Structures are given as C-alpha cells and as structure tokens.
Amino acid sequence: MKASEIEKIVKTIRRTIGKKYGFRQRDYINWKIKDGYFFELFTTYVIDTKLCVKPLFMDDLYWKIIYPHKETKHPDSLRGTGILCHLSEKIWEERFPEDLEKGFSAERFEPIMEDVYRKAEMEIEAFLQQYPSPDLFGKFLSDNQVECDLSNVLILINDGKFEEAAQFAKGRIGNRRGCINSWLMPDGTEKEEFEFILEYCLKKIEEG
C-alpha cells in the first residue's frame, strides 16, 4: 500500500475515533479544549503519537504581544498547527509497532488508535486532577523539570510580573536563547519574539 493511501486511512480513523472522545481534527493533530487548556494529539504518520498541553492564556497573550494590532480571534485549530503551535509541552507519548507500515491495514490500526485515545483521556484526567487551573501550569513545568524560556516568561506576564519578565527577556536577547521565531520587519531587520516581549513589558511598566 502506498504511503499516501495509508495516510488517508489513518486520518479517517483518527477523525472517527477521535469524535467519540470529543477530539476535533486538523491535519496531523487531534485536539480538544478543556478547563482552560488546549490538549492535542500530534500523530506522525504510523510512527508515533504524543499528547501535548498548554494553557489557552499563553496562546492569546503571545498573539497579543506579536500582533498587537490584529484581531486575537482565530480558529482554535491554529493553536496546534500555526504560529502558536510551539507553546505546547508534551505530557505523554507512545510509539506504534515498528512493522505497522509494512503490515498496515485499517483493521489493525483501528484498535491501536482506540487504545491511544483511551490512554490520552486517562492522561488528560490525571493532568487535570494535579493541575486543575491553568494558573498552575508553571508548577507543571517545574514538577517535570521542563525548561522553556518562552513559557516561563509568558507565565510571568500573565501573573502581572512585568519587571521580572522584562529582565528575563533581556537575558535572552542577543544570544537568542529560547528564541523560536523571528520576523522580518519593514526596514529589513529581523526582530525575534523576545524583543517583542521586552517592548510589551516595558510598555506595561510605563503604564503603571
């Protein structure tokens, strides 16, 4: 079976089973929003799948900082497939059987995907029991020793700690530590996300 044929079957099965568990689908992700969090299953062909999470406030804040003059409303699916996708953190993953592609069939893949969604639901419930509020996402990062500069500075901003966030951003500018995205400005220069963040924080500090 051709890879394109397998991919088509995989997407159909992911969508069908995902609906049973309240997941929606866009391209390579299946996602749901629950209790202020965005949960997504990122599935790579018939290789593996991973469950990621992030608070909705991080997406909304990042968009406001980078695009201050643009409407903040956007399709929720773009939280997982667009400019906002890099803000998620992994909480669980599973590899598919190594011979799955060679011996692929819909009948074989369906119970595998059913098991994936079942486990994902268990992981989501366990996560929400431990971190029921998006304001606890910083604790999740700390508990799991996740070092993500961007997530940490956005959490500081969300908590209103603009001076601390500004110092944090200054420390990342120049060496590009923690920088994922940069933009080409009208004058031909590049501007990285931590420069946008620093400007936002300084403005907030000035406003009092």
Q: Which range has the worst mean pLDDT, 31-40, 93-102, 111-120, 142-151?
A: 142-151
What pTM, to 2 d.p., does this model score? 0.90
Give the pLDDT confidence of 160-200 residue by residue, as tens digits.
Answer: 999 999 998 988 886 666 556 765 656 556 778 898 999 99
- Integer CA distances (angstroms), 173 to 68, 80, 189, in order: 20, 26, 15
Predicted pLDDT at 111: 96
Predicted pLDDT at 148: 85
The proportion of the chain whose per-residue pLDDT surpasses 90, expressed as a percent, equals 67
Orientation angle between helical segments 149-158 and 162-172, nearest 10 degrees: 160
Predicted pLDDT at 186: 60
